[in-house]
């Protein structure tokens, strides 16, 4: 692949920014503000990085209106991070493999492959599966029988997609993820733990991204559902029968127990956990490592163990930190009371 080169004026047009300075310089890559090299473009997102913007070795910068770059050309935009993400897309290498089925792949009976589908080496596509136009099944991936995968999806190596799973369009499933494995369902009997068959499915709507080594379990009889536009980080667990709304963000190592319902635009910080059969409403933010045991119906930020409104939790933490001083004060007061009692007893005698 040849080197990717854009004129700065062309980049400004692509990201709908205002060019300041020489638009004819060539940009050959992207870098961080601190370590970008000549020929690269980077971004600065506020006046606090003014000094870094001035000293950066980058050939050009993307900045907000309140940052002025003195010694090099720059592009002004209201949202430098968004603009920079668009530039990253322009410089990202095209890793889309060519269409076709690798000779070592196994494709079952009655499989339907759309146009420009790629099935990589040693991948498996089960009987009756449907793969939409432009989708890529990377090497060593497993697609179960009767699974439906939409258009322009990417199923990365070592992914497991269980039978009868339904995947929408433009879904990305990263390496090692499992979508549609059995849910954790058992009955405790006198003879041991009796497995409850998990015969439901998983439905993943359009534009979802599922991180590496994450697991989304199939429902017992109905469907575990991931809403459109939701993004799931690495090593996240979504248990059976969970219904997750649209445009949610689940950060690393989040765990959601079974039969929980989560609304739209919910954000869950790293290692947050949710108990089973809980309802979380729209526009809720659950802070990192918070533990949700009951319903959260009102929009807002929740934190702590058990999770509660964030400002209340901060006050509780402040009170907890005062406890040692309060205990010392109580001991002083007890000693004072004892001394007063002793004096009173002496005066009565």
Angstrom distance (rounded) from CA 241 to CA 220:
7
Residue 320 CB: number of other CB atoms within 10 A?
Answer: 9
Closest-CA residue to 158 (of 97, 228, 217, 215): 215
Note the residue count of the chain: 349
Query: Exactly one of 240, 277, 310, 319 is catalytic; which is it?
Result: 240
Residue 196's alpha-carbon distances to 43, 55, 147, 216, 221, in angstroms, are: 53, 63, 22, 17, 10
Please say whether the beta carbons of 210 and 194 come within 8 A.
no
Count the Cβ atoms, other than its own, within 10 Å of residue 289: 15
Active-site residue 240, yes or no? yes
CA dihedral for 263, 264, 269, 270, sign (positive or negative): positive
Q: With helix as H, strand as E and coil as C, how does 177-216 read?
A: CEEEECCCCEEEECCEEEECCCCCEEEECCCCEECCCCEE
For 341, residues 6+ apart whose C-beta sits below 8 A from its C-beta are none
Lookup: tokens for 274: 């949710």
Phi and psi angles of residue 201, each rounded to the nearest 5 degrees, phi first: -145, 180
Distance, in Å, from the CA atom of 333 to the CA atom of 349, rounded to the nearest integer, reads 25
Q: Which residues, other chains included, contact 95 with Cβ-Cβ below 8 Å and sequence gap of 6+?
A: none
For 158, the 3-state DSSP assignment is coil
Burial 11-32 (b: 16+ CB within 10 A, else e): bbeebebebbeebebebebbbe
- Residues with active-site annotation: 240
């Amino acid at each position: 692949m040849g080197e990717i080169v854009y004129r700065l004026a062309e980049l400004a047009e692509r990201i709908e920014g205002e060019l300041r300075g020489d638009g004819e310089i060539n940009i050959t890559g992207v870098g961080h503000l601190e370590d970008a090299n000549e020929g690269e473009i980077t971004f600065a997102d506020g006046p606090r990085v003014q000094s870094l913007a001035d000293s950066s070795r980058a050939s050009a910068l993307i900045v907000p209106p309140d940052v002025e770059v003195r010694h090099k050309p720059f592009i002004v935009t209201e949202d430098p991070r968004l603009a920079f993400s668009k530039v990253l897309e322009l410089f990202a290498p095209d890793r889309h493999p060519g269409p076709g089925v690798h000779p070592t792949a196994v494709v079952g009976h009655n499989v339907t492959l759309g146009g420009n589908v790629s099935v990589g080496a040693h991948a498996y596509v089960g009987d009756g599966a449907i793969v939409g136009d432009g989708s890529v099944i990377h090497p060593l991936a497993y697609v179960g029988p009767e699974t439906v995968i939409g258009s322009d999806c990417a199923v990365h190596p070592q992914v497991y997609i269980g039978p009868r799973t339904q995947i929408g369009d433009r879904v990305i499933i990263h390496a090692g993820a499992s979508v549609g494995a059995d849910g954790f369902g058992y009955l405790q009997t006198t003879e041991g733990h009796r497995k409850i068959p998990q015969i439901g499915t998983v439905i993943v709507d359009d534009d979802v991204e599922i991180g590496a080594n994450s697991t989304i379990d199939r429902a017992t009889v109905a469907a575990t559902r991931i809403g459109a536009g939701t993004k799931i980080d690495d090593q996240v667990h979504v248990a059976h029968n969970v219904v997750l709304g649209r445009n949610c963000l689940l950060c690393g190592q989040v765990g959601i127990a079974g039969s929980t319902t989560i609304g739209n635009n919910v954000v869950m910080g790293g290692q947050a956990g949710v108990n089973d059969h809980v309802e979380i409403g729209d526009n809720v933010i659950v802070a990192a490592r918070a533990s949700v045991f009951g319903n959260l119906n009102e929009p807002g930020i929740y934190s702590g163990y058990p999770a509660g409104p964030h400002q209340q939790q901060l006050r509780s933490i402040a009170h907890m930190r005062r406890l040692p001083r309060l205990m010392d004060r109580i001991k002083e007061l007890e000693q004072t009371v004892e001394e007063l009692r002793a004096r009173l007893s002496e005066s009565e005698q």
